[in-house]
Chains A and B, each alone.
Chain A
Amino acid sequence: MVLSLLSAAAGAAHAAVPSWAMLAYLVSGVLFILALRGLSSPATSRAGNRYGMLGMTIAVGTTLVTHEVASLPEIIGALAIGGGIGFIIARRIAMTDMPQLVAAFHSLVGLAAVLVGWAAYLNPEAFGIADVVAQAVPHASNIIALGSNSSDPAAMTKVFEESLRMAQLKAEAPAPAIMLQSCIELGLGIAIGAITFSGSVIAFLKLAGKMGGAPILLPGRHVINLGTLLAILGLVAYFTQDQSLWVIGLITVLSFAIGFLLIIPIGGADMPVVVSMLNSYSGWAAAAMGFTLHNTAMIITGALVGSSGAILSYIMCKAMNRGFLAVIAGGFGAAPEAGGSGAPKEQRPWKRGSAEDAAFLLKEAENVIIIPGYGMAVSQAQHALREMGDVLKKEGVSVKYAIHPVAGRMPGHMNVLLAEANVPYDDVFELEDINAEFGQCDVAFIIGANDVVNPAAKSDKSSPIYGMPVFDVDKAKTVMFIKRSMGGVGYSGVDNDVFYMDQTMMLLADAKKMVEDIVKSLQH
């Protein structure tokens, strides 16, 4: 009953959108699907990106054509300013900075959603969500109530004055009533947008190193977070009854706060999950706005982006063998686990190698598997690494790259860096495709990775990374481990048995410098 009433009202309000425009929005939605579909292989990906651009052009064009534009220059100016900034950023950004760029972009989508939500709240008529009936009723009933209470002339004058005041109020009305259903959509859209914004800002600061990567833990944070979330939901429900400024204001403020609170306890290496999750949120925010505007392009896109981010978060969590909730709860790596690696830490012997030693062994090898990690990104060693690969290939060595799903700070981070350095993507393998090959591998060359090769994940149940799929580098004949020093351990804070194996050679230096030295020795 309620639903059919709502839909009747909605139908009436949206009758203004011509059907060809609805078709155009549908077409742009389909083009966005094709954009993602194109990414199934590098060969089709560029066509996919063009579909995406076309879809966006159609969506923007349709909106401008079907709405009476009060002042086109302002809009074109806004598009040009934003477009110019975006274009320059996209041109200048270093590939290693991609995770923070993506986080920054997410924050913009979130903030845009909040602004659009507020704009719709302040001018519901323009968005076709004003409830014409409800708007008139309270005013009329107010006046009638006043009039029926008494019949003396003073009261009548009051009624007259009241109706005048109402008319005045209406002329400068801050917000005519909004339809019930739209209230919920709007409230949720603003809330998700605000969470996306503040969450992404924190993620950006952490990824860009402008804020410590270590988790910040507030006492009782779970209670605070849960309470805030419930308060937001309660306010969204209340918003349907009372559309005062303070309600929507409080929804916005609380959502900004919760986005901030949710991300600060999450540490640096869990960022792939966070970035994917925020990606997902930005989609849901767009979808919520699409519901408000009854716009198919926005709904389809929101659903696509929302599921995309959710799937990426899932893949990342699985690759760390951690529950999504555990990651979101945060605090991983904050304090070394008491169980750690059992026995009190004794000084175990390890071997240090030089670039010359490494070059000699690499030249003699038949199969080399390179495992890059975040450290490679930090020292920008990808170009030097590719050079090393090229030299080795000339010597007849088979060189492969093995990439763990959570290597780096965002999904696919390592792949992009290797692609930037012109590593052929046929040489790049995923964990499950290459892990069986370590038995026949002469040299496992680990550069800037640590936890993803830690055998404790397979054997030590007390280890915080237990159960995480890792590379079986311990099966390789020789392991070369490029690391800045013996002091630091991986993000998880767990010691790595690989350091102390007989076949392991520790190459202690900056990754880029070490690889360059190895290349020099190889060429002699």
Chain B
Amino acid sequence: MDFISILSIFVMACFVGYYVVWSVTPALHTPLMAVTNAISSVIVVGALIASAASGLGEAAGISKWLGLGAVVLASINIFGGFAVTARMLAMYKKKEKK
């Protein structure tokens, strides 16, 4: 993909984000932050690439360990973020039944 295509995706996504986020009800702003937190950990993709690499040499070795460290951090966020969001949203659920 060339730079312009990537930039186009980025700019379009900013606009989508803008409209989607304005439609979020203020009552759910805390879950919104928790879930955006979880999805921004998609950075785990970069961490996985680093840890998957079988590079030769010292630098590549360090790179791998940095990657693994980042995998740990990002997955704390992924699992923690989605789980805590689910927990919060479940609290909004109980009232619907009443």
A302 at interface (Cβ–Cβ under 8 A)? yes
A293–B10 alpha-carbon span in the complex (Å)? 13
A275–B34 alpha-carbon span in the complex (Å)? 11
B contact residues vs A (CB 8 Å cutoff):
1-4, 6, 9-11, 13-14, 16-18, 20-60, 62-64, 66-96, 98
Q: Which residue of A lies closest to B90 (CB)?
A: A46
Q: Which residue of B lies closest to A279 (CB)?
A: B33
A216 at interface (Cβ–Cβ under 8 A)? no
Q: Are B29 and A127 in contact (CB under 8 A)?
A: no
Interface size class of A (residues with CB under 8 A): 35 or more
**Interface segment, one of A148-156, A281-289, A362-370:** A281-289
Residue pairs across A and B with Cβ atoms less than 8 A apart, 25 shown, are: A7-B3, A14-B1, A33-B20, A35-B35, A39-B35, A41-B25, A49-B31, A56-B82, A67-B48, A75-B48, A83-B78, A98-B88, A102-B34, A119-B46, A123-B63, A126-B49, A126-B60, A171-B57, A172-B57, A172-B58, A172-B59, A174-B57, A175-B59, A295-B45, A305-B36
Q: Are A412 and B30 in contact (CB under 8 A)?
A: yes
Q: Which residue of A lies closest to B38 (CB)?
A: A52
Known contacts A300-B13, A302-B10; 20 further A-B pairs (Cβ under 8 A):
A6-B3, A7-B4, A11-B2, A42-B25, A43-B96, A52-B35, A60-B45, A63-B48, A74-B68, A78-B71, A95-B91, A105-B34, A109-B43, A112-B70, A119-B64, A122-B66, A304-B20, A305-B36, A307-B17, A430-B26
A163 at interface (Cβ–Cβ under 8 A)? no
Q: Which residue of B lies closest to A113 (CB)?
A: B43
A-B contact count (CB 8 A): 408
A contact residues vs B (CB 8 Å cutoff):
3-4, 6-8, 10-11, 14, 22, 25, 28-29, 32-33, 35-37, 39-43, 45-46, 48-49, 52-53, 55-56, 59-60, 63-64, 67-71, 74-75, 78-79, 81-87, 89-91, 93, 95, 98, 101-102, 105-106, 108-109, 111-113, 115-116, 118-120, 122-123, 125-127, 171-175, 181, 275-276, 279, 282-283, 285-287, 289-309, 311-312, 315, 403, 405, 410-413, 415-416, 419-420, 422-426, 428, 430
Q: Are A303 and B13 in contact (CB under 8 A)?
A: yes
Q: Are A424 and B95 in contact (CB under 8 A)?
A: yes
Q: Are B57 and A302 in contact (CB under 8 A)?
A: no
Within 8 Å by CB of A173, from B59, B70, B77, lies: B59
| A residues less than 8 Å from B83 (CB atoms) | 86-87, 90-91
Q: Are A32 and B39 in contact (CB under 8 A)?
A: yes
